[in-house]
Amino acid sequence: MFKRFKTDTFNWILIIGVILLIFEIIFFYGGNIINAVFCAIIMFVGWKNFHQLWGKIVFWIFLISFIFAVLNIFAVRFLVAAALVLYVIDYSKQKKGEDVVAPTLPNSEGIQGTVTRIEPLFDHKLFEDQKTKDTAYGWRDVNIHGAFGNRIIDLSNTVLPNDTAVISIRHFLGKIEVYVPYDVEVSIHHSSVFGRAHILGKHHQKLMNKSLLYQTEHYDAAETRVKIITSIFSGDIEVKRI
Output the DSSP codes for 39-102: HHHHHHHHHHTTTSHHHHHHHHHHHHHHHHHHHTSHHHHHHHHHHHHHHHHHHHHHHHT-----
CA distance 55 to 100: 49
pLDDT in tens, 51-76: 888 888 988 998 899 888 888 887 88
CA distance 56 to 100: 47
Q: What is the pLDDT of residue 9?
A: 67
Q: What is the pLDDT of residue 186?
A: 93
Distance of CA 24 to the CA centre of its chain: 25
pLDDT in tens, 65-117: 988 888 888 788 887 887 788 777 777 766 665 555 555 555 555 555 667 77
Beta bridge partners of 214: 188
**Other residues' Cβ atoms within 10 Å of the Cβ of residue 157:** 15
Given a cut of 70, the residues of the chain with pLDDT beneath it are 1-11, 93-114, 126-127
Distance of CA 241 to the CA centre of its chain: 25
Q: What is the pLDDT of residue 161?
A: 84
Q: Which H or E element spans position 204?
A: strand 202-215
Ramachandran area for residue 60 (φ above 0: left; ψ -120 to 50: alpha; else beta) = alpha
Q: What is the pLDDT of residue 96?
A: 65
Q: What is the pLDDT of residue 188?
A: 94
Percent with pLDDT over 70 in the chain: 84
CA distance 214 to 220: 12
Predicted TM-score of the model (pTM): 0.58
The set of residues, in sequence order, having a beta carbon less than 8 Å from that of 40 and lying 6+ positions away, is 62, 66, 148, 173
| 8 A C-beta contact, residue 121 and residue 142 | yes
